[in-house]
Amino acid sequence: MNPINTQTTQPATASANRRLSPRWALASLALSTLLASLGASVAAVALPTLVQALDASFQEVQWVVLAYLLAMTTLIVSVGRLGDLMGRRKLLLAGIALFTLASVLCGLAPSLWLLIAGRALQGLGAAIMMTLTLALVGETVAQEKTGSAMGLLATLSAVGTALGPSFGGLLISGFGWQALFLINLPLGLLTLGLAWYALPVRQVPQKAEAAHFDIAGTVLLALTLAAYALAMTSGGGSFGGSNIALLLAALVGGALFIRAQSRTVSPLIPLTAFRDRSLISGLATSALVATVMMATLLVGPFYLSIALELPAALVGLVLAAGPCVAALAGVPAGRLADRFGVQPMRLAGLATMALGCLMLSLVPPALGIAGYLAAIVTTTLGYALFQTANNTAVMADVAAQRRGVIAGLLNLSRNLGFFTGASVLGAVFATAAATNDITRASPEAVTSGLHTTFTVALSMAILALVIALKCRVPERLGEPEDTPDQA
């Protein structure tokens, strides 16, 4: 029985719940993705305002952003596994409700630390939403439209990321920083109502009901991921003793986690899943691609403002080009994956990204905005093609009772790539620019930093392409050996 084909896996008891078409169910998943990605990007614009409003330092208010990202990253796999055990629809509804309630708590928070606590709860809700929307695609659309559905989710994720700063700026100027979070009350209630009404109810398999949630593994994994994320993001741009200590703690925690998983009857992440070369390929290439894309966010603003000497308003417009391309290309990329297959589109996306990185590693300032835009549009287009096809490939051939945890791993690989890119490629850029204060670097130094950074990024894109070629994903979905009814 194919795990994705809704016509063969949907039980008769669910027919009464299909009061709306599958398009409405997919719309609820898309809105969940939009809210979660918007929550990650909208708060950054409020940091200067929060410094004054809450009488705190910039280092302290940075935790408003970091708490969200840490909670989402450290728990994203665990909530996927929990959804497999208790039912993905039920947990998604709880996640949307938690995100909405936490947003209200953030908006009403009288102090910085209560705001940070609310943001951590928001991040937990976002982890549930981001993971289970991917896992639930197979229960809402037919197999032949999976790529298009994944493309829609990628589009809404890009829209949320791109819309966050400008939308947040409007809310702050018109209603104050509290509006950044209180706006999620009507949006969250809309998403919750639509998901409750449109998503089909499915029975949790008896095999899943008999399994136990791995609390010890969850704690170990969360601590390990938190240590790694902090190692990659703390230190103010330098990698000192505390970063090394955190990285060593992450390595020790990872070893302990693997040992614990090999000894428990009901592991958080079945280690046997990593025998699947196509899964390893999908996760590894996802992490590498995310690392590369982080370089565009880090280096672009400095190159545009210092090397090209553009005013701040124009810098913002140019930087919006990348997210806009990702948003516009998501759905077409999904349709291409449905039509031509996921493997060709993965390779096409990675090859296009490599071409974009090559262009960025060579672009001279004399070409101005046009040269930068041509390179960044090429890179982002490749990213959109790859991400949609890769998500479809990873999720398509997963047994029903593992979809949640695999979706969590897929999101985790991307988040870890972002953290790694921020640290590693940020250090490459600073080293190549040969300055301790990048804001005072000369145009020539920033240009050199751009070229060096994207030479390294090019090698990562080529490595991802080699991995994708060596570990091909199946073009046609097979029949898993252990595919019970969907949770």
pLDDT(133) > 80: yes
CA distances from 113 to 62, 67, 74, 180, 200 (A): 11, 11, 20, 17, 39
pLDDT at residue 11 in the model: 39
Please report the sign of the dihedral spanned by the C-alpha atoms of residue 431, residue 435, residue 438, residue 441.
negative
pLDDT at residue 476 in the model: 43
Of the ranges 14-18, 27-31, 185-189, which is most confident? Answer: 185-189
Per-domain residue ranges for the chain?
19-213, 214-267, 271-475
Residue, of 47 and 216, whose pLDDT is higher: 216
Residue, of 350 and 163, whose pLDDT is higher: 350
Question: For the segment 289-298, what is each residue's pLDDT rounded down to a tens digit?
Answer: 999 988 887 8
User: Under CATH, which number does the domain 271-475 receive?
Assistant: 1.20.1250.20
pLDDT(4) > 50: no
Give CATH superfamily name and number for 19-213.
MFS general substrate transporter like domains (1.20.1250.20)
Q: Kindly state the tokens that stand for 247.
A: 């990285």
Ramachandran area for residue 55 (φ above 0: left; ψ -120 to 50: alpha; else beta): left
pLDDT at residue 140 in the model: 76
Assign 21 a pLDDT band (cuts: 50, 70, 90). Answer: low
pLDDT(131) > 70: yes
pLDDT at residue 214 in the model: 79
Q: What is the pTM of this model?
A: 0.79
Question: For the segment 423-467, what is each residue's pLDDT rounded down to a tens digit?
Answer: 788 888 888 887 666 667 788 988 999 999 999 999 999 999 999
Long-range contacts of 235-241 (CB under 8 A, 24+ apart): 237/426, 237/427, 237/430, 239/423, 239/427
Question: For the segment 308-354, what is each residue's pLDDT rounded down to a tens digit?
Answer: 888 877 887 888 788 888 888 888 888 888 888 888 999 999 999 99
Cβ atoms of 215 and 140 within 8 Å: the answer is no
| CATH topology identical between 19-213 and 271-475 | yes
Average pLDDT over residues 44-53: 79
